[in-house]
Structure 1
Amino acid sequence: MTIVRLGYVAMSMEVKNASPSKTMTYAQFQKIEDRDAALRKLERIAFTNLENTLRLLKHNAASEIHFYRFSSRLIPLANHEALLDWDYLKPLKGILQSIGDFVNDHEMRIDFHPDHFVLINSPNEDILKNSIKTLKLHYLLLKKMGIAPTHRCVMHVGGNYKETENSLERFLENWMHVPSVIQKMIMLENDDTSFTLEDTLYLCEKLGIPLVFDYHHHLAHNHHENWADHWDRVVQTWKYSPLPIKMHISSPKSEKVFRHHSDFVDITMFFNFLKEIKGSIPHIDCMIEAKMKDQALFNLMEEVKKRDDIEIIDGSTFLLK
């Protein structure tokens, strides 16, 4: 038997006016003549994002959802080269601690997924430095929240640069430039265009990084169609993690645009995966990547409840019998 726990990404379709990703462009920042006033406005936007994050966490607790991905855009312009003197953490200390306390009190699993411009395997030194800087931001936010950073950031391998093998080896080389505390924060996932499950496993096994299996990505891009042949290897990458194995589930928007995420999750597709892994692990956390966010989770749970091969545990969790 295997416990399956569902989560969703960043935004809620039910909680209104609760975006955790409000922003300000640098062009907008520059239009404010008083720089201190502009910084205070940035801080108010960041505070609103964090306040909305706490609202969403309370919504999750009320809905028995224990797994959630933070927005990676909580602090706009935090790493902009013109704002490196801005101590954005100091004025946000209280709300960050409140978020961390709520997460820890409710034993929620949270993580981040930094944007696509975080490229550890970039051949460009400036891009590598900026990628590490962005990862450090995520690390510092977790530390200020009082949340253990280990295996909280999932990311893609990076750019393929039309040379898969060299790009994988460059990841290994550049990894040595990543501070060890940030290395411990990272999980890697297979993607839908550049690096397959096998490619990503190569890095995860070499470096001791957990692999987050994205089922939809695998169906869109693979060299070996039967992913289950590698499932034991995926499980082994998690053997030293304090967290349960994690995967991503989404459904194609259509056959024509197969890589695009649908509004909801196709339950047949999801259970095709679950049937293969049932009993191989005691627990798995499944992050729903669907356009309808928490509504996709609620809809999926309603469909799950109709099945006779599961036992419902709570609003987002069930047991595969």
Structure 2
Amino acid sequence: MAAIQLVHLLNTAQLQTNVPPELGLVCITFDQQVRFRTMTRTRYLKLSVDDRQTALRELYQHNLQRLHDALSFCHNNNIRLYRLSSALFPLSDLEDQIGTNILTEMSADLSKIGERSQSLNIRIVLHPDQYVVLSSDSAEVVQNSIKILERHALTLDLLGLPRSPWSLMNIHGGKSQRSQQLISVISDLPAAIRNRLTLENDEYAYSAEEIFTVCQQANIPMVFDAHHHICHENLDSYDHPSVAAMFHAAQTTWEKPEWQLVHISNGEQAFNDRKHSNLITDMPSVYYQAPWIEVEAKQKEVAIAHLRSWWLMGQ
């Protein structure tokens, strides 16, 4: 189905609202206020078992406090959408189970953070890293991808966040021309993953139309990324008719359209540049109708403030 043919969805899928879009912070702040620590696998494996436990416990406690700080930052700056770092609790998926056991021990503290996010009315979402490829032709890669998603789902569960797209885990399609494999794997995922899973179009392997079709057949929501779309289709404007068409098509995949989440970034050196710019200086007009927008710009909260100053003020 050509994107331009989806224009008829504009009248049926449009979310009628006068509420301005919520602009979301991605993982860290530009000004160093929100930062997380990590540890390499190589360094970890050099430690004794006791030292591994001590090191991970201290690291996880530190990062949990930084997550608390991130919520405070969002609350103080009227930001109601926050993307968790996928490296919040590094090495928690290793076979020695040390990290998993420490997280379980910290479940009460994690639960308090989740309760705080809900009391502050801050939506928490997650974007696992590029190693999650459910469409791979390698069974080992698929199983490792599911393992990564299980680890993230456990984190969201321990935070007490709902198993729904409100607390989504967003991934890309992965290996191209493997749509049926992707749909098949998704259908067999555990509920803790599948009920939170969303798919995003990308610049290379899966166009917005292709991901829309996969999401329809897999019955999961689509996260539309306007910049990925214009790069994939080699367009020269965010107001090309296909941008609005795909935005509204994606909206139909959300059981609750008021939960629809989209991404925005701008090219660093040129409009079609895939590298992200410092700020957002160009926006799709249709995004005024987006309930939730993750701002993928290098200067993070500065980019959000800049968008508020020129884009939302012009709504």
In the superposition, the TM-score normalised over structure 2's length comes to: 0.86
Q: Using a 3 Å threshold, how does the CA distance of structure 1 residues 218 and 149 change in structure 2: closer, same or farther?
A: same
Q: Secondary structure at the match of 2:292?
A: strand
Identify the residue that residue 270 of structure 2 maps to in structure 1. Answer: 255
Q: Aligned partners of 1:203 and 1:64: how far apart in 2? A: 35
Q: Using a 3 Å threshold, how does the CA distance of structure 1 residues 256 and 88 change in structure 2: closer, same or farther?
A: same
Q: Aligned partners of 1:71 and 1:85: how far apart in 2? A: 16
Q: Using a 3 Å threshold, how does the CA distance of structure 1 residues 91 and 296 change in structure 2: closer, same or farther?
A: same
Cα shift at 1:264: 0.8
Identify the residue that residue 159 of structure 1 maps to in structure 2. Answer: 175
Q: Residue by residue, what CA displacement relative to the aligned partner does 1:99-126 show, whole Å, maximum 9, x if unpaired?
A: 1011110111110000000111111111
Q: How many residues align?
A: 291
1:205 aligns with 2:216: yes
Q: Aligned partners of 1:31 and 1:181: how far apart in 2? A: 33
Q: Aligned partners of 1:91 and 1:13: how far apart in 2? A: 32
Identify the residue that residue 43 of structure 1 maps to in structure 2. Answer: 57
Q: Return 102-111 or 81-90, whichever deviates more.
A: 81-90
Q: Secondary structure at the match of 1:221?
A: helix
Q: Using a 3 Å threshold, how does the CA distance of structure 1 residues 219 and 64 change in structure 2: closer, same or farther?
A: same
Tell me if the contact between 1:210 and 1:241 (Cα under 8 Å) persists in the aligned partners.
no
Instruction: Give the fraction of aligned pairs with identical amino acids, expressed as a percent.
Output: 26
Structure 1 portions without partners, runs of 5+: 311-321
Q: Aligned partners of 1:126 and 1:210: how far apart in 2? A: 26
Q: Secondary structure at the match of 1:120?
A: coil
Q: Secondary structure at the match of 1:69?
A: strand
Q: Using a 3 Å threshold, how does the CA distance of structure 1 residues 85 and 5 change in structure 2: closer, same or farther?
A: closer
Q: Aligned partners of 2:160 and 2:152: how far apart in 1? A: 12
Identify the residue that residue 286 of structure 2 maps to in structure 1. Answer: 276
* CA RMSD between the two structures: 2.2
1:235 aligns with 2:251: yes
Larger helix share, 1 or 2: 2
Tell me if the contact between 1:47 and 1:95 (Cα under 8 Å) persists in the aligned partners.
no
Q: Using a 3 Å threshold, how does the CA distance of structure 1 residues 169 and 231 change in structure 2: closer, same or farther?
A: same
Q: Aligned partners of 2:101 and 2:161: how far apart in 1? A: 20
Q: Secondary structure at the match of 2:171?
A: strand
Q: Using a 3 Å threshold, how does the CA distance of structure 1 residues 31 and 107 change in structure 2: closer, same or farther?
A: same
Identify the residue that residue 23 of structure 2 maps to in structure 1. Answer: 6
In the superposition, the TM-score normalised over structure 1's length comes to: 0.84
Q: Using a 3 Å threshold, how does the CA distance of structure 1 residues 82 and 91 change in structure 2: closer, same or farther?
A: closer
Structure 2 portions without partners, runs of 5+: 1-16
User: What is the 5 A alignment of 1:93-108?
Assistant: 93-108=107-122
Cα shift at 1:254: 1.2
